[in-house]
Structures are given as structure tokens and as C-alpha cells.
A and B are shown apart, each in its own frame.
Chain A
Amino acid sequence: MAGIIGYGAYIPRNRIKVEEIAKVWGADAPSYRRGLGLEEKSVPSPDQDTITMSVEAARKAIKRAGINPQEIGAVYIGSESHPYAVKPSGTILAEAIGATPEVHSASFEFACKAGTEAMFVCLCQVESGRIKYGLAVGADTSQGAPGDALEYSTAAGAAAFLFGMENVAAEVNETYSFMTDTPDFWRREYQHYPRHGGRFTGEPAYFKHVLGAARGIMAKAKMTPRDFTYVVFHQPNGKFPLNAGKQLGFTREQIETGRLVPKLGNTYSGSSPMGLTAILDVAKPGDSILMVSYGSGAGSDAFIYTVTDRIKEIQDKATKTRDMLDKNKVYIDYGTYAKYRGKIRRAE
């Protein structure tokens, strides 16, 4: 059975607290903290972008898988902040990890579920036998408009997964996708910041698709929430995944290991994928994992994984996600944040 043979994540070092942002816009920090279930978020340094983070996450995945990168047949990065509008991020990633020249690539976009789209495509290519290994990355350095609610949560991070048929650490038992045309959150070309439908982004968007995909995959696999050790949902804020879990009948414990958002923020295409890496860091053989992503526009990809004995051999081969999240972080103020994120108008 095909599945994940290696995984890795990357989180930039900088953090900014909700209080720091609220101060500038005259907002009430405690109510944002409560309402969003969020304390702080990661901020990329000026020399970091979707590609640099993808390379670092991918290098960890390759280290864990222990494979020759020349045998990787496809490299896909899913993001809504690809550095180039035309020129795939994957070519630079493929070159950096030494997978070129016999390799496929394309840039994936589906708002926050571009990463899981890449994962789905790699899985299928491996299962079909067309490629030996596929590398899928979900990564973002998204922007939130100054003063907008999203500014508190838009963060940066990357998660990379290598798919293969041998030495699988997490088998993919089932996949499912639930998608409709729902204009909840979008960005037109040449616009700097995205726009969203306010409260419309909740029930008709996130919840309809996440719950739809979760129920759909569980029906397909004939499983119930009780059958899972862990569940990870797309995490735009601290509340939504808890709410979705509750509606579906999952416990807080099942959700908590993969729920990074209170300290990380929303890493968009990296969101549920990074949560998955945090789970894989501590999972035991036999554990069952449900993953449900969400991308505005809108849709959710669902995966069911079963962890194998192989997980024990690969977990410690690279830095763990919670270690990156909790250790080696440095807090910045709003001025530095605005400078790093290019929010200050410069001379031509």
C-alpha cells in the first residue's frame, strides 16, 4: 500500500503576539485572543519565502525517508504565496534537493488546500506506478491586510511529504474530496491582499466542506470518530477545528496534538499538513489518523492514514515540529513585522 515514507516541517523563528498587533489598530487584544483562540503567529524573515521554507521542510522529509533524491519523480508545492506568478516554485525546490532533471513539477493553488492537493496527486502517481517517489509540500507566507481580522492569524510555515510504496511509515487507507463553488475568500490578480466574506466564511464555507469531507470519508471507509487516534483539521484559528471536531463527535485529546494554530497562526497551505507532521512526530505503530484540509473557493481533502512500525525508525531523524514551534523563537514588534512583510510604502 502506498503512503508517507518521509515527512518534515519548517517554521521561521520570528513570532508576533496578538497584543502587539491589537495595540497598533486600537483593537481589544483579549477579545481577539478569545475569539480567535490565538496567542501568537510565526513571521517569515525577509530572506524567507514559500520556496526557502519548502526546501528546508523537504530536506527533512528526505532525511527521514533515506532515499536518493534523484529517484523522486514529481515535486509539487501547493501555496497561495508562490514567489513567482509564472515560474513554478517546484523547479527551484527540485534543483535544491537534487531531484533534477527527470522530474515533474507544477505549482498548485487552491487557497489553503493547495498542499493537500499536491499530496493527493503524488499519492495517485505513486499508486499508479508511474513514479517511484513523489514529494508534496504545503507552504505559505500569506499576507493579511493591515487592521483586518486576518492580520492576527496569517502566518508562515511549510510541511513536506514523500510518498512511496516501500518502507511506508503512514499508509494511506482512503481519500475523499468535497468541493463546491463558494466565494468565501479570494484574491484577484494584482491585488496585494485577499478579501473575504466575513461571517460567510464560517458555516457555508469552512464547516460545510470540512464536515462534508469528514463524514464522506468516514462513510466510505466505514469508520467512526472513535476509530481514530488523532484527527487534524485545517486550522484558520484556534476555534474552528475544535468546533468541527465537536460537531463530528471527536474528543479534545484527538484534536490537540495536531492543533498548532494557537502558537503558530494559520499557515494556509501548510495548516493541516503541519498539524499532520506534529502528529507523526509522536504517533505509534497502529495509530489511525484522519486529516481534513480546507481551501477557500471552496473544498476539503480528506485522508485516512494508518501508522506502521516504520514510524519509530524515522521520527528522530530530523527536528520535530513542536520543537521548532516552542524553542528557538524570537518576538518582534509591529514595526519590524510591517517591515518584514513589506507593508511599509517605499520610495521607487
Chain B
Amino acid sequence: MANPARYWREIPQRYRLEAGKCVSCGEIYFPPRLVCAKCKCRQFRTVRLPDEGHLVTYTVIRVGPSQFADQTPYAVGVVELDGGVRITSQIVDCDFDKLAVGQRVRVEFRRIQKQGDAGILCYGYKCVPA
């Protein structure tokens, strides 16, 4: 993820949860797509996903990849934002024992990764208990 261009390209999604809504059938894609899987239409409108939702499932990562090694243990879950779109996100500022399927959560802006001491800082979304 060190590459500036690769990170920058996803900024509208990572900072503002921008998704694409099919103009024909209304299906919402996050991240946005070029072709609708449902109706094959190729036109989309930009929409912002809601910043609240609930936990569909979760786990606590105790052995993490190197960029996250300092943060273990940390919780990650599949969050269904209000409206139905699902994302994979860390769950922070939480008690692991209190995590539960169905729990309400809220999106917050956090730093996701950094490339050592000299590389770029990568920001994005995490969820906190609502």
C-alpha cells in the first residue's frame, strides 16, 4: 500500500464513503463499479453511504500483519451500514467482551496504516460502538 497513487485513488471511498448507485436498478456499490452486476447498466450516480450501521460478524485479530503488528489485539468486523451496503472495518474504542452480532456502530476517521517513518500516512474509516 506504499504507493502514493494507489492510496490516493481510493480517497473518495476511504475518506467520504463515496459509493456508486446504478441509475437503472438502484443497486449501490462500494467501492463504485463500472458495470452493474445486477442489470449490466454502465451508468452510476455518486452517493455517500450513511455513517452508522450494525455488526454482522466480528473477530479479534491477535496476530496481525506487520503494518498492524503494533495495534494487536484489534477487532475487525463486517459492518452493514444503514441502507444495506456492507464494509469490512476495524472496530475500535470497544470492549472485546462486549462485541456482539447486531451491535450498533458509527464510522470515525482514523489512520489505517503508515509506511514506516518516511512513507505516506494512509487514512480511512474505522467503526466505534454507537
Contacts and interface: CB of A to CB of B under 8 A. Distances in A.
B109 A96 contact: yes
Given A47-B71, A47-B92, A339-B70, A95 B112 contact: no
Contacts of A249: none
A52 B128 CA distance: 14
B108 A56 contact: yes
A52 B16 contact: no
Nearest to B109: A55
Nearest to B48: A98
Contacts of A46: 70-71
A47 B110 CA distance: 6
B71 to A, nearest CB: 6
B40 interface: no
A315 to B, nearest CB: 20
Interface string A77-102: 00000011000000010011010000
Interface residues of A, number: 20
A309 to B, nearest CB: 30
B97 interface: no
A86 B121 CA distance: 12
Q: Which 8 A-B pairs have the closest CB atoms?
A: A55-B109, A96-B15, A47-B110, A47-B111, A13-B93, A52-B110, A52-B109, A95-B15
28 contacts: A45-B92, A45-B93, A46-B70, A46-B71, A47-B90, A47-B92, A47-B111, A47-B112, A47-B126, A48-B110, A49-B121, A51-B121, A51-B123, A52-B109, A52-B110, A55-B109, A56-B108, A56-B109, A59-B109, A83-B111, A84-B121, A92-B123, A95-B11, A95-B15, A96-B109, A96-B123, A98-B16, A328-B93
Interface of A: 13, 45-49, 51-52, 55-56, 59, 83-84, 92, 95-96, 98, 328, 330, 339
Given A47-B112, A330-B93, 17 more contacts: A46-B71, A47-B90, A47-B110, A47-B126, A48-B110, A49-B121, A51-B111, A52-B108, A52-B123, A56-B108, A56-B109, A83-B121, A92-B123, A96-B15, A96-B16, A96-B109, A98-B16
